[in-house]
Amino acid sequence: MSSSEPLEFGHDDRKRIYEYVERHGAVEPDTVQEDLSIDPSGFRHHVAILKRDGRLEREDGTLRVTMAAGAEEEYVSDDLEFHIRPARQEDLTGIVGAIRQVAEEKTYIEAESVADEIDHQETLLRHNEIESRMFFVATVEDEVVGWVHLHAPELEKLSHTAELTVGVLDEYQGYGIGSHLLSRGLEWAGANGYERVYQSVPSSNEEAIAFLEAHDWETEAVREDHYKLNGHYADEVMMALEL
């Protein structure tokens, strides 16, 4: 299912089932059926149609929103083996931890806001009439060591744009993980019809700015003294990439 594909269901109960699963991230079918008070035979039928139409999928006994994002990829760099794959609901805790560690070390305000939001909602991936949110993760021995996140408002005037954050734990930098994550995120954005991707970072985060510039991002605007970090003002550097 494409992120930009209109959400049409053809039946109120079908829409209710989708919205319940989308809001919870991953949930057992019996829980959905009982909480929505839909008769079992009707529920099974609607789930079958949602699966047929690429709206929902069943994995490890739970229903989840389908986000077509490709397969897991394996890389080896300087004897370090890591994997890049679409995130799953079960990655939420690892992603929140990784984002907060990177944000604390590198002063990454936008990413910190993302961590707060997904931690509060307890839902990782979103695709509804208001927004789409997608994550890819880098893992080493099944532990999250990096992420790339894309968020897009489902508004017609902004439907061609998405916001991105990306980061890798300090211990795993220098292996090309960040570049692979960024590439995977941009590939997904392009495949889903987005034309421009944005990211804002404090001017004090010179490492992040240099990383993006090395990948052909350009500074579109600077808001002076937008952040106040540890009692000191810092500019907001607003960067963008045309896909």
Q: Which domain holds residue 193?
A: 73-242
Are both 126 and 189 inside the same structural domain? Answer: yes
Domain count, the chain: 2
CATH number at residue 44: 1.10.10.10
Are both 196 and 108 inside the same structural domain? Answer: yes
Do 119 and 99 contact (CB within 8 A), yes or no?
no
Are both 87 and 202 inside the same structural domain? Answer: yes
Please report the pLDDT score of residue 48 as a whole number: 96
Are both 131 and 184 inside the same structural domain? Answer: yes
Is there a domain that residue 2 lies in?
Answer: no
Is there a domain that residue 130 lies in?
Answer: yes
If you average pLDDT over every residue of the chain, what do you get? 91
Please report the pLDDT score of residue 107 as a whole number: 77
Distance CA 200, CA 46 (A): 42
Average pLDDT for 166-178: 96
Torsion of CA 210, 213, 195, 55, to 10 degrees: -40
Is there a domain that residue 109 lies in?
Answer: yes
Is there a domain that residue 3 lies in?
Answer: no
Which residues make Cβ contacts (< 8 Å) with residue 95, sequence separation at least 6?
Answer: 87, 115, 118, 124, 135, 137, 144, 147
Is there a domain that residue 116 lies in?
Answer: yes
Are both 125 and 237 inside the same structural domain? Answer: yes
Are both 101 and 28 inside the same structural domain? Answer: no
Please report the pLDDT score of residue 44 as a whole number: 96
The structure's pTM equals 0.86
Average pLDDT for 38-64: 94
Beta bridge partners of 222: 237
CATH number at residue 233: 3.40.630.30
pLDDT band with cut points at 50, 70 and 90 for residue 232: confident
Answer whether residue 5 shows pLDDT above 60: no
Q: Tell me the pLDDT tens digit for each residue of 108-154.
A: 888 899 999 999 999 999 988 888 899 999 999 999 999 999 998 76
Are both 119 and 191 inside the same structural domain? Answer: yes
Average pLDDT for 46-73: 91
Distance CA 68, CA 110 (A): 25
Is there a domain that residue 125 lies in?
Answer: yes
Is there a domain that residue 6 lies in?
Answer: no
